[in-house]
Every structure is written in structure tokens, then in C-alpha cells.
Structure 1
Amino acid sequence: MIPFDEGRARALLAKACSAAGLPDPADARLLALSENAVFDLGGPAVVAKVGRGPELSERARRESEVAHWLAGRGIPVVRPFDGAVPGPQVADGHPVTFWHRLAPAVRPARPADLAPLLRALHGLEAPPFALGRRDLLAPVGRWLASAEGHVDPADVAFLRDREASFAAAVAALTPHLTPGVIHGDALPRNVHVGPDGPVLLDLETVSADLREHDLVVLALSHDRYGVSAEDYRAFTDGYGWDVRDWPGFAVLRGARETASASWVAQQVPGNPAAAAEFRRRVDSLRDAATTVRWYPF
């Protein structure tokens, strides 16, 4: 398997830009490297997202469709770049999408900026196209397989057991909120505060499912990633409800933790910091240590 690193992502980006009629991206600046490699192309005001593998092709296509729909419903979202050939480009099987670069942020996004965006999103009716469920745990096997030979097989077995257990428990939950459109990865890092206000980013996981999914993310961030009690309270006040009051909270939190620990596995090959974070997350799950600090990747 060819490793998905910056060099590989740049080669795929060059092929996609050529096919889309965009300039040679030799000077593109890497912004992020995880499930996607994200590049600022510089000259054209365009950001490109290069998918880690062909299995992300349908998700990339749907993200563009979702972005057009949400913009049409008045939700401030990042917009696909219409100067490129419509829809994702395919480079050696990898999906590549192009997006308008946003104006520079006026300040970092805060949890309170996310709350009104989620309220507006959760108020929408279903779109005129199908949205899938927010299956948090579906990619766990793929993420763990990508780290084969680099992580302890006992840790893989532990996470796969959690995956099966929580998948069944999530399916049996009774929601407090009416299910419907959700973002699926509702974090302040997926909000950009520009001159015209907050804009919602990273629409790949927009789904039709329990709206509690979008609220558990911030609760877990308060417990695990250092979001302060004050910022968390500003979020719940802005949204109007605290998901921790819901009897299903622990189940959805446990599913999210399982997915989050497994997600780091794909970063482990060649990355000692990712290996240490994977170890920290798995150990805290084994010990049921629910307040051990985790660190973003």
C-alpha cells in the first residue's frame, strides 16, 4: 500500500489540478493532513481537499452537494469552487474537491459560535436527496487496519470489541431531540469566523440521524480536550439544552471515544507523537478513566 503522506498527496493534487484546468500547485501550502490532505493553492483563491483513499469518493461527492443545498437554505457554509469541473476530481482513485478560500479569520472560533449554527442546521427539514446515517463506528476497522504492524494487536481487538458493543447500544437509544439533519463533527475547529460572521466547514459528515450526535462532541471536548466549563456553558446556553442531561449520553459518548481513539491509529505509522496519543487514549479507555486529557491531531 502506498503511504498517504504529504508527498503522495501533492502528487495526487497535481493530477487533479491538471484535470480541472487549475494552475500547477507546486507552491500549494499544506494546511492539514489527516482523513484528507488540505492545501491552499495560493494563486487562485482555492483550497483543495485530497481524500486519503478511494473509499472517500462518495463522501466527497455528497459534501459538495450538501454545501450547495445548505447555502441555498441560508446556512453560512464554505462553498465549492465553481471554476473547476463540477464535482470531485479523481486522481489515482482518490477524490479531490476544490473550495473557495475564505477571507482571513478575525478571531479563533469559540464553542458559543457553534451553537447558533447548529440550532439553524437542526431546524432544517430533510434535503431533496438522501443523507446517510451518522455511523461513527463504520470507519473503525479501516482506521485500525491502516496501522497494522504499528500498533499492538491487543489494542486493535479491544477497540473492535468496543465498536461492536457500542454499535448495538447506539442502535437502541431513544433520542430526546427529533432526529434530522446534523453536521456530524460539530467542533469549533469546523467553524471559521470571518468578517461576516461564523461559517460552517467540513461538511463531509452531514447526515440524518440523532441530533444528540452534534451535542455530544462538545461535551466530550469539555471532558477530554480542555474546553473550559465556561465555554461549554456558553455553548449549551446558546443551543438551549445540555446533552449530558440525556440518559443516552454515556452511550453516545462511549461510541465517540471509541471512534476517536481508532482514528488516531491511521496516523501512527512513522509518527511517534501519534503513537503516544493512541497509547494514551486506549489506556484511558481500558481504565475507564473518563477525565484523562486527550490531545488533538
Structure 2
Amino acid sequence: MTESRTVASTAHTKPPFTAESTLATLTKACNATDLSASQAELIRLGENAVYRLTSPIVVRIGRTGAYADDARKEVAVARWLAGEDFPATRALPFEQPVIVDGRVVTFWESISGEEDYGTPIEVGRLLSRLHAMEAPTDLRLPPLRPFARAERRITENDWFSPEDSAFMRAQLVKLQEDYAALTFELPQGVIHGDANVGNVIRDRAGQPVLIDLDGFSVGPREWDLILTAIYYERFGWHTAEEYEAYTNAYGFDVMRWPGYPILRDVREFLMVTWLSQKAGHDERAAAEVRKRIRALRTGASRHDWEPY
């Protein structure tokens, strides 16, 4: 694994994870690595804040230092995939991650000048190739921990009402039990952890490239297949033709697996816990989380869920 370095900070309390606070973190991290944050562009603000610098570099800022091990793994995975000539994002060749303001910062080659997302068929092809690979033992990929971040997201979230917090905690326990009882059909092995069209970007030559490698682990391949399935079946974000092309490209339809409904419920729940991190300082996200929790409670349609 790669090493990390820490940049001293005078902050006594961690500020909200916003565009303003992450820009301040970005500036300190760039100063520590002899890069310039001048005119940096915020690409997205989710689990990570992702910035594009004026130089062809992308910077990812994690929400908390608790994810430092994931960032070290992500950089190590990127170096392995580069050695295998697999089309994935490339980490810059210096010591990282950098820890700033209690946050984890990593630096990456810019794939393109815009967010040109891939298609379901391209996701299927990349996953088919990835799932055929065997990671070297010195990479020490951890086993998949499906709920590793969910409990922290619920416990540390002071935006939830007491009723919603209790509901989410109860759901977490139930889904953990349901997941533990699953019997998977595909062999376990290397997985991306968050495979979907949002994590496939076309490069400047128009070729699809896999990004966001911090979820790499060893686990059931169905975990990588489920998001595209629910984007089609539950949310209506993909067409039937797109989903069929995806399953043909990969060679397996996870919706035909008996465990699909349980894994679908797990991933939907995790999507809600993920978005809830933004609810305290983003009213649009807060309204979306309220809607999603109502759907979890009542079994209502997910076709009005907005993509984030």
C-alpha cells in the first residue's frame, strides 16, 4: 500500500462538508503538493468533493479521515490497474493520500475536460473484464463490508428526526440479517463496489474509463451488478433496451437471481444513508431524503427518486 502524509491544520472543529469548506481544504492540499488551486472547478459534491484543476488533474476530498485506509487502497488499486493496462483512473505518482483538515485528499490524472458518462453496455463490458481479473496478494484487498459506512452515517447525522433515526437504525439491523442469509450465485472475487454509469467516464478519445476506486474489495459479483438493475427496474433511469444490452455485455442478469429483492433493498437503503449526509446543509437533498424515507416506510414507487 502507498503511504500518506498529514498537513497541519489550525481548525479545532470540522466544518460542514460544503463547497466553501472543501475549497479551503483543496487549497491547503495543493500547497502541500506544489500544485495550484487557482480557478479550481467543483465537479461534484457527494461522498467526496471532486475538483478539476486548471492543470489536467482531478482532486478527490473525502468527508472524514476515517476513510484514510480506503484512500490508500484506492491509490494502490489504481497503480495495479495501470500495470494491467485496465482502463481506470490513474493516481498521480507521488506520496498520497494527503490528510488535511481531518479529510483525505487524493490526486488523479484528468480523464477529460467534461463529465461524459458511459452507458450501461460500457459498464457491463468493463465489469466483465474486471471480474475476470485476480488481484495480487500484496494488494491485500479487504472483504466487502456492505454496511461499513451506513452505521456511521446514521449515528453522526444530527439532521434525522428521532423517528427517522430510529426507523433507519431498525432497517439497518433487518437488512444486515437479510443480507447475511443470502446465497450468491456468482463466484466471489475482485469487485468495484459502486459500479454504475456515474462511475464510468469517457476519456478524451471517447473510451470508457472506470473511476472512484475506493470501494474495491473482494466480494460477491452480484454487488457490482445490482445498481444498473435497480436504476432500470426501480427508478426508470435506464430503458429496457439499455438494460438488456448491459446484461448481454456482462453475461448474467442479476434480476433473475432469487436474492435480487434483498440486495435491491440493501442498495436502496444505502443510497438513502449516503444522500442524508448532504441533508443538513442542502434543502434540495433534504427534501429528496424525506421522500426516500417515506418510500422505504410505505413501499411507495421509487420512480420519483431523483439521481444524485
- Give TM-score scaled by structure 2 length: 0.90
Q: Which runs of 5+ in 1 are unaligned?
A: none
Aligned to 2:51: 39
Letter in 1 for 2:269: T
Aligned to 2:141: 131
Q: Which of 220, 226, 234 matches 1:210?
A: 220
Aligned to 1:17: 30
Q: Which of 112, 118, 121 matches 2:127?
A: 118
d(CA) in 1 for partners of 2:117, 2:277: 27
Aligned to 2:74: 63
Q: Which of 128, 136, 141 matches 2:151?
A: 141
**223-232 or 50-59, larger mean C-alpha shift:** 223-232
Measure how far apart 1:106 and its partner are.
Answer: 9.6
How many percent of aligned residue pairs carry the same amino acid? 37
Do the aligned partners of 1:122 and 1:180 also contact (CA within 8 Å) in 2? yes
**225-234 or 261-270, larger mean C-alpha shift:** 225-234
SS of residue in 1 equivalent to 2:50? strand
SS of residue in 2 equivalent to 1:99? strand
Measure how far apart 1:13 and its partner are.
Answer: 1.0
Letter in 2 for 1:30: L
d(CA) in 2 for partners of 1:170, 1:77: 29
d(CA) in 1 for partners of 2:173, 2:280: 25
Measure how far apart 1:41 and its partner are.
Answer: 0.9
Measure how far apart 1:290 and its partner are.
Answer: 4.8
Aligned to 2:6: none
Aligned to 1:88: 97
Q: Which runs of 5+ in 2 are unaligned?
A: 1-13
Within 5 A, what are the aligned runs for 1:180-259?
180-194=189-203, 195=205, 197-222=207-232, 223-224=234-235, 226-259=237-270
Measure how far apart 1:216 and its partner are.
Answer: 0.8
d(CA) in 1 for partners of 2:302, 2:25: 40
Measure how far apart 1:225 and its partner are.
Answer: 5.0
Residues 157-209 of structure 1: CA distance to partner in whole angstroms, max 9, x if unpaired? 11211111111221222111100001111111111122151111111101100
Measure how far apart 1:142 and its partner are.
Answer: 2.0
d(CA) in 2 for partners of 1:239, 1:135: 24
Residues 19-42 of structure 1: CA distance to partner in whole angstroms, max 9, x if unpaired? 11212x131111111111111111
Do the aligned partners of 1:140 and 1:160 also contact (CA within 8 Å) in 2? no
Q: Which of 182, 186, 209 matches 1:177?
A: 186
d(CA) in 1 for partners of 2:49, 2:302: 31
Do the aligned partners of 2:46 and 2:275 also contact (CA within 8 Å) in 1? no
Q: Which of 39, 42, 59 matches 1:27?
A: 39
Label 1:292 to 1:156 Cα distance change in 2 as closer, same or farther (>3 A). farther
Label 1:131 to 1:11 Cα distance change in 2 as closer, same or farther (>3 A). same
d(CA) in 2 for partners of 1:70, 1:108: 20
Aligned residues: 292
d(CA) in 2 for partners of 1:165, 1:137: 12
Measure how far apart 1:155 and its partner are.
Answer: 1.4
- Give TM-score scaled by structure 1 length: 0.93
d(CA) in 1 for partners of 2:226, 2:52: 31
Aligned to 2:300: 289
d(CA) in 1 for partners of 2:268, 2:167: 13
State the Cα RMSD in Å. 1.6
Measure how far apart 1:65 and its partner are.
Answer: 0.3
Aligned to 1:5: 18
Aligned to 2:11: none
Q: Does 1:263 align with 2:274?
A: yes
Letter in 1 for 2:131: H
